């Protein structure tokens, strides 16, 4: 059973991933709280092992990805390169004012382990994708959907269209693929109905066409390809919902790694998945 890690996230990232601090734009995170949150999550996993005797497994964290990439793990190297490229591109695309709105997401990236870490990374990936493809400015994050319920359901991003001035709210929903929920068409349909349908219902997005729900799927390239094939054959549709987005690591024809994030209908085009 692994011991509780002794970790100073601020010092670790300064040495191993200084690009992270560019998005902070001089603002400070509560690094003591972030480190404690990480350790608390780790201890919960360890307690579960002690209680159930199930394998002690932590799926991912930025900390673990960087460590394993340094140890030469191919999957970790690809993931870390994607994250580094993502942060580099975001730093180029967004303004200092927009960066100030990302504090909650950046805190979530560094303080979480397992799938919660991936959820925050998904939000940053969607932000990067939208900034590259739309003429918009990020104006708010975590805005309450219902003004009379400020502590109720919130929307991830409010963008202002730079051409029309209209506000465009975008909510991200993360779908984690595995062998079971991609086993056949029925399990895929059940997953989509549960995750996307529930998010539409809870957020109230159904009540207006002004919202867009952006699904982000996580899994192996085979699982994501299986979902792509399902969409091509069955064409599932949900109100105000975009085609799912995904990160898939590829090798190109020369064997060089390619780090793509895009809609599942085109993300495999021109590449060889490994």
Q: Give per-residue pLDDT as tens, 61-112.
A: 888 888 888 888 888 888 899 999 999 999 999 999 999 999 999 999 988 8
Dihedrals phi, psi of 153, to nearest 5 degrees: -65, 135
Bridge partners, residue 170, by sequence: 157, 212
The phi, psi pair for 126, rounded to 5°, reads: -65, -45
**pTM here?**
0.88
With a pLDDT cut of 70, the percent of the chain lying above it is 87
Distance from the Cα of residue 12 to its chain's centroid: 22
pLDDT band at residue 56 under the 50/70/90 scheme: very low
DSSP SS3 for 239: coil
Kindly report which listed range (96-100, 111-115, 218-222) carries the lowest average pLDDT score.
111-115
Residue 219 CA from chain centroid, whole number = 12
3-state secondary structure of 199: helix
Mean pLDDT, the chain, rounded, equals: 86
Dihedral angle over CA of 106, 108, 109, 115, nearest 10: -150
- Would you place residue 205 in the very low, low, confident or very high pLDDT band (cuts 50, 70, 90)? low
Domain extent listing, the chain: 1-133, 140-274
pLDDT > 60? residue 3 = no
Element counts in the chain: helices (H) and strands (E): 9, 7
The DSSP bridge partners found for residue 161 are 136
């Amino acid at each position: 059973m692994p011991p509780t890690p002794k970790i100073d996230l601020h010092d670790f990232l300064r040495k191993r991933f200084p690009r992270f601090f560019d998005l902070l734009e001089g603002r400070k995170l509560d690094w003591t709280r972030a480190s404690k949150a990480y350790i608390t999550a780790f201890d919960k996993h360890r307690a579960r092992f002690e209680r159930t005797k199930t394998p002690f497994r932590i799926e991912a964290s930025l900390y673990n990805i960087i460590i394993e990439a340094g140890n030469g793990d191919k999957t970790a190297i690809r993931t870390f390169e994607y994250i580094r490229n993502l942060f580099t591109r975001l730093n180029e695309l967004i303004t200092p004012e927009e960066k100030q709105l990302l504090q909650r997401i950046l805190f979530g990236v560094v303080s979480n382990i397992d799938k919660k870490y991936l959820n925050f990374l998904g939000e940053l990936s969607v932000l990067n994708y939208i900034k590259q493809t739309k003429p918009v400015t990020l104006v708010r994050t975590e805005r309450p959907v219902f003004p009379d319920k400020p502590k109720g359901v919130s929307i991830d991003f409010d963008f202002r269209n730079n051409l029309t001035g209209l506000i465009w709210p975008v909510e991200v929903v993360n779908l984690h693929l595995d062998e079971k929920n991609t086993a056949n068409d029925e399990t895929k349909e059940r997953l989509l109905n549960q995750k996307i349908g529930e998010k539409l219902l809870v957020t109230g997005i159904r009540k207006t066409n002004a919202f867009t729900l952006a699904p982000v799927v996580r899994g192996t390239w085979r699982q994501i390809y299986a979902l792509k094939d399902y969409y091509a054959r069955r064409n599932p549709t949900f109100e105000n919902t975009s085609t799912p987005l995904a990160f898939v690591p590829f090798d190109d024809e020369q064997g060089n790694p390619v780090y793509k994030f895009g809609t599942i209908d085109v993300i495999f085009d021109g590449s060889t998945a490994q």
